[in-house]
Amino acid sequence: MQAKPSAVIIGAGVAGLAAAIRLSVQGFDVKVFEQASHPGGKLGYFEANGYHFDTGPSLFTQPANIEELFALAGEPVEEYFHYRKMPDSCFYFYEDGTVIRAAAEPDKFAEELYRQTGEPVEHVKQYLGKSKKLYENVANIFLNYSLHKAAVLWKAPIGKALKTVGFSQMFKNLHQVNTGSFKNQKVVQLFNRYATYNGSNPYKAPGMLSLIPHLEHNEGTFYPEGGMISIANALFKLAEKKGVQFYFNQPVERIIHYNGRATGVVVNGKNIPAAVVVSNVDVYFTYLRLLNDQITAKKILKQERSSSALIFYWGIKKEFQQLGLHNIFFSENYEQEFDHIFRQKKVCADPTVYINITSKCEPGIHAPEGKENWFVMINVPANVGQDWEKLRETCRSIIIEKLSRMLKTDIGRLIETEEVLDPVLIESKTGSYQGSLYGTSSNSRMAAFMRHPNFSRQLEGLYFVGGSVHPGGGIPLCLKSAGIMAGLVQADQQRKRHH
Residue-wise pLDDT for 320-348, tens only, equals: 999 999 999 999 999 999 999 999 999 99
Residue 435: pLDDT band by 50, 70, 90 thresholds? confident
pLDDT at position 446 is: 58
pLDDT at position 3 is: 85
What is the pLDDT averaged over residues 9-16?
98
% the chain with pLDDT above 90: 79
- First-to-last alpha carbon distance for the chain, in angstroms, is 21
Are residues 346 and 481 located together in one domain of the fold?
Answer: no
Specify if 65 maps to a domain: no
Specify if 269 maps to a domain: yes
Alpha-carbon torsion angle 489, 495, 496, 497, nearest 10: 110
Are residues 178 and 322 located together in one domain of the fold?
Answer: yes
Q: Where are the alpha helices (DSSP H) in 269-371?
A: 283-285, 294-300, 334-338
Specify if 78 maps to a domain: no
The residue segments making up the domain with residue 139 are 84-224+305-430
φ/ψ of 235, rounded to 5, equals -70, -35
Are residues 255 and 360 located together in one domain of the fold?
Answer: no
Q: Considering only 138-147, 240-249, 305-314, 356-365, which range has the smallest mean pLDDT? A: 138-147
* CATH code, domain carrying 149: 3.90.660
Are residues 188 and 330 located together in one domain of the fold?
Answer: yes
Specify if 53 maps to a domain: no
What is the pLDDT averaged over residues 235-257?
98
Choose one of 373, 408, 430: the last residue of a domain: 430
Specify if 102 maps to a domain: yes
Nearest 5°: the CA angle 290, 490, 70 is 95
**Do 320 and 99 touch, CB atoms closer than 8 A?**
no
Q: List, in order, residues 6 or more apart from 169 with CB less than 8 Å away.
A: 134, 177, 206, 207, 208, 210
Nearest 5°: the CA angle 293, 296, 299 is 145
Are residues 210 and 323 located together in one domain of the fold?
Answer: yes
Are residues 171 and 102 located together in one domain of the fold?
Answer: yes
Choose one of 404, 430, 456: the last residue of a domain: 430
Specify if 379 maps to a domain: yes
How distant, in Å, are the alpha carbons of 43, 188, 276, 441 from that of 201? Answer: 24, 14, 36, 8
Average pLDDT of every residue of the chain: 92
Task: Determine the Cα–Cα distance for residues 458 and 52; give it in Å rounded to an integer.
Answer: 44
Question: Pairing between strand 308-316 and 415-421?
Answer: antiparallel
Choose one of 381, 406, 430: the last residue of a domain: 430
Are residues 322 and 421 located together in one domain of the fold?
Answer: yes
Are residues 205 and 334 located together in one domain of the fold?
Answer: yes
Specify if 161 maps to a domain: yes
Report residue 330 CA to chain centroid gap: 21
Please tell me the chain's helix, strand, coil percentages from 3-state DSSP, rounded to the nearest 5: 45, 20, 35
Are residues 288 and 232 located together in one domain of the fold?
Answer: yes
Task: Determine the Cα–Cα distance for residues 254 and 276; give it in Å rounded to an integer.
Answer: 14
What is the pLDDT averaged over residues 463-468?
95
Alpha-carbon torsion angle 310, 315, 316, 321, nearest 10: 80
Residue 163: pLDDT band by 50, 70, 90 thresholds? low
Specify if 66 maps to a domain: no
φ/ψ of 350, rounded to 5, equals -130, 80
pLDDT higher than 60, residue 387: yes
* CATH code, domain carrying 37: 3.50.50.60
pLDDT higher than 90, residue 198: no
Are residues 207 and 328 located together in one domain of the fold?
Answer: yes
Task: Determine the Cα–Cα distance for residues 337 and 192; give it in Å rounded to an integer.
Answer: 12
Count structural domains, the chain: 2
Are residues 413 and 310 located together in one domain of the fold?
Answer: yes
pLDDT higher than 90, residue 186: yes
Are residues 202 and 91 located together in one domain of the fold?
Answer: yes
Residue 40: pLDDT band by 50, 70, 90 thresholds? very high
pLDDT higher than 80, residue 477: yes
